[in-house]
Structure 1
Amino acid sequence: MRLWLPFGAGLAVAAALSGPARRWYLTWGSTSDEVTARMPGDELLNRPGLVSTRAVSIAAPPAAIWPWLVQMGSGRGGAYTYDWIENLFGLDMHSADEILPEFQHLAVGDLLPLGRTGAALRVAMCDRERALAFQSEDGNWVWLFQLLPDGDGTRLVSRNRITAPDTWTSRLVNRLVMEPGSLIMERRMLLGIKERAERTAAPAAVSAV
């Protein structure tokens, strides 16, 4: 048993570092066209060391999704993911289950703190019901959202562009911890937005019949 544990751990590490596994971590839910397409805000960070593009189909129009996006943030609408994990890092995230009118007036230049004493993201682009971009104050992280009409629904695409230290240790930590970890959190976030937008869009669709 003791001999098999290191062997099993080695296999797990090899799987995590493999090309197919990494592509799945970084492109969950997205199409090949979405992965390669240029998104509004890409130009904010021209040579990222790490790029992820993840997406989800939502049976609701962009107008039903946008309010959930603009109210995101610490001390605002949260991130619609695993709050308990976020709050282990002191991010003060409490995911809202309703649209909060007081947080619907997002504008370029607004600063959204990550926790009460941590870093902050600045709104770099706010194209209503089309595209939203945040950039960290140090410029090393850009987080983009794009809403693409898709039949009667919408494709919500989320892209992270990050400047990461180019060292062996950093690359190993990113591939073993950060990339799979970010998939867990962002997948839950995208599905959380999908659930909320489809729920709030449903009464409007019924009343229009």
Structure 2
Amino acid sequence: MTSQRTGGMAGAVAAFLTAAYLMVVRPRLLRAGATDGEVHGPYPGAGLIPDGTRSATMAVTIDAPRSRVWPWLVQMGTRRGGWYSWDRLDNFGRRSAGTIHPEWQDAAVGDRLAATPDGSQWWEVAALEPEKFLGLRMSIDLRGRPFDPAGERPRHFTDSLWGFELKDAAGGRTRLVVSGYWSFRPQWLQPALSILVLEPSHWVMQTRQFSNLKRLVESESS
């Protein structure tokens, strides 16, 4: 009876914690810093990922105009300016740039921004509207091999758009809204993978990127 009671209590605690995460914590992860309008309103790039679903929407206000934020975004890439997040985790220990590099400012649709030091995986510039929107797309199978998104998709794959939208905010500031779209196969695995792995890890990395971008842009603007 004691073991059954203990098991029942453990199950109840686990159920409570799961419910608390899904109802309280997860919604905060999915919209950190974003307003209702930013979460529920339209977001650029909706047609770029076939069968894509809207991903988390996160935002930050930067005390500088869009023209000062944009150069930091277009120079991103593993063999370029980095990603301004936790460099040990997403930039292979290489420190992200602390200044603007003129040689990395000429981004164009179709450019590949390396995601690994050897360039075997990359984010492709799928959409670009200077000082307004940058959409980065990664299309790989579940063995980590890139595929051509214009052709036939593999049986198992992940195809996603990581978007950066810049909007004017009061006082000459910039509202940076990050969201995107995601398609994954096998489809039955997508919800569990998203909830258990991708959403928490994205929150960790994106909030760090926001913090560093805000610091870099505002210190450079002062």
Shorter-chain TM range is: 0.7 to 0.9
Aligned counterparts of 1:79 and 1:30: Cα–Cα separation in 2 = 21
User: Is it true that 1:127 corresponds to 2:146 in the alignment?
Assistant: no
Residues 56/74 of structure 1: CA separation in 2 closer, same or farther (3 Å cut)? same
Name the aligned partner's letter for residue 134 of structure 1: L
- Residue among 38, 44, 47 paired with 1:43: 47
Q: TM-score, normalised by structure 2?
A: 0.79
Work out whether residues 133 and 145 of structure 1, in 8 Å CA contact, stay in contact via their aligned partners in 2. yes
User: Is it true that 1:141 corresponds to 2:160 in the alignment?
Assistant: yes
User: Is it true that 1:162 corresponds to 2:167 in the alignment?
Assistant: no
| Residue 112 of structure 1, CA deviation | 1.2
| Residue 72 of structure 1, CA deviation | 0.7
Aligned counterparts of 2:12 and 2:191: Cα–Cα separation in 1 = 22
Residues 92/103 of structure 1: CA separation in 2 closer, same or farther (3 Å cut)? farther
Aligned counterparts of 1:131 and 1:60: Cα–Cα separation in 2 = 16
Q: TM-score, normalised by structure 1?
A: 0.84
- Residue among 78, 81, 84 paired with 1:80: 84
| Residue 23 of structure 1, CA deviation | 1.8
The residue that corresponds to 1:188 in the other structure is 208
The residue that corresponds to 2:27 in the other structure is 23
Aligned residues: 196
1:65-92 deviations in Å (ceiling 9; x for gaps) = 00100011111111111111225xxx56
Q: Unaligned regions of 5+ residues in structure 2, if any?
A: 1-5, 140-146, 150-158
The residue that corresponds to 1:53 in the other structure is 57
SS at match of 2:100: coil
Aligned counterparts, 1:42-121, within 5 A: 42-49=46-53, 51-87=55-91, 91=92, 93-117=94-118, 118-121=120-123
User: Is it true that 1:171 corresponds to 2:175 in the alignment?
Assistant: no
Residues 172/106 of structure 1: CA separation in 2 closer, same or farther (3 Å cut)? same
| Residue 48 of structure 1, CA deviation | 2.0
Aligned counterparts of 2:50 and 2:24: Cα–Cα separation in 1 = 25
What percent identity do the matched residue pairs reach? 32
Aligned counterparts of 2:112 and 2:202: Cα–Cα separation in 1 = 22
